[in-house]
Amino acid sequence: MISEALQRAREFEAQYGPHIPSSERPAFHATPTIGWMNDPNGFSIYRGEYHLFYQYHPYSNEWGPMHWGHLKSRDLILWERLPAALAPDQDYDAAGCFSGGAAELPDGRQLLMYTGVRRGHNADGFLQDIQTQCLAVGDGVNYEKWKGNPVLDGADLPKGGSTVDFRDPKVWREPDGTYYTVAGNRTADGSGAILLYQSADGFAWEFVRTLDRCRNQYGRMWECPDFFPLDGRHVLFTSPQEMNPVGLEFHAGNGTVCLIGDYAPDGAGFSRQSVQAIDYGLDFYAPQTLLTEDGRRVMIAWMQNWATVGGKPNPCRWFGQMTTPRELSVKDGRLVQSPVRELERYRGRRAAHRNIPVCGEINLPGIQGRVLDMTVTVRPIGNETYRWFRIRVAKDGEHETIIRYRPDQGTVKLDRTRSGLPHDVVHTRSFFADPGNGTIKLRIILDRFSLEVFVNDGEQAASAVIYTRQEAVAISFEAGGPALMDVEKYDLVFDGTGREA
C-alpha cells in the first residue's frame, strides 16, 4: 500500500524532476530527482544491481521532513532514477525517515532499516525527537513498512543511552545468514557511541555490544556509522557532530572519522589502534560502504558539509550530491581510497605530456575541460626542490579552483574561493601529504559541480563542490622554483561517444 504522503512525493518528483535539464546537473555524480539530498542510505546490492537511497526532501532545496529517494546502477557510475521509496507517514516516523541501510532477504525481498523520528515530551515536558529503528520490506521499488515497527527503541539501549539521539542503522547480512546493524547513540556523558545489534531473521533484533565510544574526544554525537573488515583489519566509520579542530587532521564542526583496529567478536570486541579523517576536503559526510561481488569494499558519501549548506547557487532546483564511489584498502595502517575502476570505462579523449619543465604559469595543449580524470606527477629538477606547485582548474578570467602543494611543509591546500559560490562559507582546507622528496602524484576527478583529489594513489582524498560557470574550462600549472611534471588527462564521456577503441 502506497501512503498518501509517498504518493504525493512520487507525483511531485515525476512532475517537476524532468524540468531540470541534465546540463544543470553533474555529468555523473548522483543528485536528487528534485529538491534536497543528504546522506547516502541503503547503499547495497539487490538482485545483482547497486541500490543507493538517500535522505530526501523533494519539495524544496532545504532539509525538511525526510523521505528516502532512490537510485540504482549496474556500474556505480550511471544511476537510474526510481520513485521515492519512503515517506514519513506513520506515527513512529511522522517527523522523518532518517538514515539507515538495506540488505537482501533470503526470500528475495529487500529489507530497509531506517530511523523513525517522532516528536514527544521528555520528563521535563519539553518537546523533543524520539528516534527508533524501523523496517520496511519491498521488491526494489515499492516498500511496505513493517507491522512490528519500531524494532529497536529505548528499551534496547544500554544504560544511560539517549532516545533522542539513536539513529542511522547500517545493516548487513553475513555469509552465515546473521544480520547485523550498527547505530549511533549518545551516552550519559553526552558523547557518542556506536552500538552493534544482531538478528537471525532481520526482524527480531538484540543488542550485542557497544563497539566504541567517543568519550568527548572526537566530537560529540556520532552519526552514520559503518563497520566492516578490510585487509585483515576492522574499520569503524562515523561522522561526528561538534568536533574540535586537531591540527590539519580534523576541522571544527561535522567531520568524518575512520577508526582502524581489530575485532574479536567473542572477546574484547573492537579495539581501535588508529584514528584519522576519511576525506580532507570541504565537502564530505556520512559515508556508507558495500562489498561488491568481486570483493571490493566501495564507499560513497554525501559530497557536502552541514556547515556550508547555506551556500547555494541561485537558482537551485536540486541541492546535494554524492561523491564518486571509491574503492577502499588499508595500507600501513591507514585508509587508502581511489575512484572505482568502473569510472575508467568512461575515459574518452586522452592528452598527455611528459617531463614538462614548469616555473611560471603554463597551459598545455589538450589539457582543459570540466568533466575529466587527470593525473599530474610533479618532481624536482636535480637537487633543488621547488617551493610550491599550483594546479588551477575550472579557470577563466574570474574563476579558478586551486590545488597547491608545498613540499617543505608536506601540505596540500584546496582553495575554492573563486569557484562560483558567492557566500562567505569555508573555502579552503589544508592537509598533510607525504613530502616524498618533492615528488607528488595528484589524481583529479573534475565534474561540472565538484572536484575530488586523490593524493599519492589515494593516501589522502579531498572533495569539494564548486559552482563555477561551465565555460571556465582552462587548466594551468605553476611552480615556485624549477619542477618537472607529467600530466595525463582523459575526458570523461557518458553518452557512449567518447570511448577509445
- The binding site for ligand FRU (CB under 6 A) comprises 38-39, 55, 66, 98-99, 115, 167-168, 223-224, 285-286
Q: What's the rounded Cα separation, in Å, for the pair 216 and 271? A: 18
Cα 206 to Cα 110, 198, 224: the distances in Å are: 21, 5, 19
C-beta closer to ligand FRU: residue 38 or 419: 38
- Are 322 and 283 contacting, i.e. CB atoms less than 8 angstroms apart? no
How many degrees, rounded to 5, is the angle at CA 367 between CA 365 and CA 371? 150
Other Cβ atoms less than 10 A from the Cβ of 155: the count is: 8
C-beta closer to ligand FRU: residue 66 or 483: 66
C-beta closer to ligand FRU: residue 40 or 140: 40
DSSP assigned state of 381: B
* Smallest distance from ligand FRU to CB 298, Å: 20
Closest CA to 100 of 85, 114, 118, 116: 114
Q: What's the rounded Cα separation, in Å, for the pair 107 and 103? A: 12
* Smallest distance from ligand FRU to CB 184, Å: 7
Other Cβ atoms less than 10 A from the Cβ of 141: the count is: 11
* Smallest distance from ligand FRU to CB 243, Å: 14
Set 39, 212, 226, 373: catalytic member: 39
* Smallest distance from ligand FRU to CB 282, Å: 16
Residue with cell 584546496: 414
C-beta closer to ligand FRU: residue 309 or 473: 309
Closest CA to 133 of 190, 207, 64: 207
* First CA to last CA distance, the chain: 49
Q: What's the rounded Cα separation, in Å, for the pair 195 and 221? A: 13
39 catalytic per annotation: yes
Q: What's the rounded Cα separation, in Å, for the pair 374 and 328? A: 20
SS3 325: coil
Q: Chain centroid to CA 320: how far?
A: 11
* Smallest distance from ligand FRU to CB 350, Å: 38
Closest CA to 162 of 154, 170, 174: 154
* Smallest distance from ligand FRU to CB 221, Å: 8
C-beta closer to ligand FRU: residue 55 or 476: 55
Q: Which residue is nearest to ligand FRU (CB)?
A: 98
C-beta closer to ligand FRU: residue 98 or 346: 98
User: Catalytic residue numbers?
Assistant: 39
